[in-house]
Amino acid sequence: MLTMNLAFVPLARPTFDIETAKAYFSQSCELLGKLADGCRFPQGLLMSPEEAGAFVRRTADGTELDAIVVQATTFIDARFIIEIMEATDAPILLWGVREPRVNGTRLSLNSMTGINNLANTLVTKGRKFSLLFGNPTEDALARELRDQLKVASLIRELSRLKIGVIGQQPDGFFFSGADAGMLAKLGPQMIELDLQEAFHRANELSETEAQAAVEAVSGQVRGLGLIPQESVLKFARFQTALQRQIQELGISMVAVRCWPEFYTDYGAAACSTVSSLIDQGIMASCEADIHGALTMHIQSRLAGSAPYLGDLVHIDETKDSGVFWHCGAGAFSLARPDTGAVAGLHPNRKLGFTLEFGLKAGAVSVHRLGPDPSRPGEYRMLMMKGEALDEPQKFWGTSVEVGFRQPILPLMKQLMKQGFEPHYSIVYADISEEMNILCDWLDIRPIVLGEALT
């Protein structure tokens, strides 16, 4: 169940079949009560524009609403929606119900004309909204309403988020950066943190203060005792110091400059900290990839599970598959069950600690949020589906082989020709419906590739 500030606004006119409208109202309240904790209901149908506006103003007084569900339970005129728009700027989910009797007699509710009238007014006034149609007892309607509410909750969350950017992007990693003004259109605010100061904070911690972080990962990662213990301690110090700063500043996700200074100045790999944070629900990207971290955050909230950020490094035309890899980062929970997450050293720098494993098998979605080259100042979202294959680790570090059930070489060429960023975020869930809803609300252009799976 979602926890969100939500208001249900059922609109009706007394000249229609009010007994049926009341039945729909009761069923709708029951459904919303099951989907969202914190939904506020009127005592009954709201039958005048003034009554509707007064209810919304009372509900919104002192509370920032995440969304309002406006149901045209019968036909209504556009004065109702004008009152509602003036009372709140919360996202509007417009809901129409089916005509209960189609038998050559009276038009009982005429809800469809009602939502048509309200939709016309919303568009004319430049107000975004989503549209639902169906009865509250229909499974399809319940699923769509659940998805809409989930996205509305996420959008409100995005408007409050802070992204901690720890150091600048590595030289030549232009795709990892972000324009603060553009990012603000989606909601999040960037908080720049000094990398050297982060190292200093970590080095100031005692071994005792860092011990809890060591104990937390010891049951999740195999082979910690086989790598230099100094690297394990450095991981624990940096993670502990960073988590304190995250809490102090109210940061929700981080983009970390993981090289070269982590190796040259701090003497350890950032991979383990990035991996551990992701498993704790704090999305973290390497190479200071801001949009990568945001893509991961969106996926994690919609899917309810940890994502994986990796480069596309290899394709296999015999399997129509691609291997996504990174040099040592990956949530511990994503490891293959037969190996688990294993501690290791960075393949190039020979410093620890990093993660060594192939990812588990299962259906996946692949996404990437980034600037839209065809619409300056706007965003696009890559959307693909695939199957993480039951394959062992392909390279040192962490990796997953994803089958796409369509020719992989043309797909790879599409990704390159359209200029997608080389960091792709993978999550073990089909969240295409929710992602499409999000894109619609935030004016993000969805780019759907790999539709052979749909």
Q: How confident is the model at residue 451 (pLDDT cuts 50, 70, 90)?
A: low
Q: What is the mean pLDDT of residues 100-116?
A: 92
pLDDT value of position 271: 95
Q: Which CATH number fits domain 2-158: 3.40.50.10940, 1.10.3470.10, 3.30.460.80, 3.40.50.300?
A: 3.40.50.10940
In angstroms, the CA 343 to CA 310 distance is 18
- Nearest Cα to 136, choosing from 19, 28, 280? 28
Query: Tens of pLDDT along 344-396?
Result: 998 887 787 999 999 999 999 999 999 999 999 999 999 999 999 999 999 99
pLDDT > 90? residue 63: no
In angstroms, the CA 21 to CA 433 distance is 29
Q: What is the mean pLDDT of residues 232-260?
A: 96
In angstroms, the CA 269 to CA 231 distance is 8
Average pLDDT score over the chain: 95
Query: Tens of pLDDT along 208-237?
Result: 999 999 999 998 999 999 999 999 999 999
Q: What percent of the chain has pLDDT over 70?
A: 99
Where in the chain is CATH 3.20.14?
162-453
In angstroms, the CA 154 to CA 28 distance is 22
pLDDT > 60? residue 154: yes
Q: What is the CATH number of domain 162-453?
A: 3.20.14
Q: Strands 362-371 and 379-388: what pairing?
A: antiparallel
Q: What is the mean pLDDT of residues 171-175?
A: 95
Q: What is the mean pLDDT of residues 337-346?
A: 95
Where in the chain is CATH 3.40.50.10940?
2-158
Q: How confident is the model at residue 272 (pLDDT cuts 50, 70, 90)?
A: very high
pLDDT > 50? residue 293: yes
The predicted model scores a pTM of 0.95
pLDDT > 50? residue 454: no
pLDDT value of position 453: 38
pLDDT > 80? residue 452: no
Contact in structure between 423 and 289 (CB atoms under 8 Å): yes
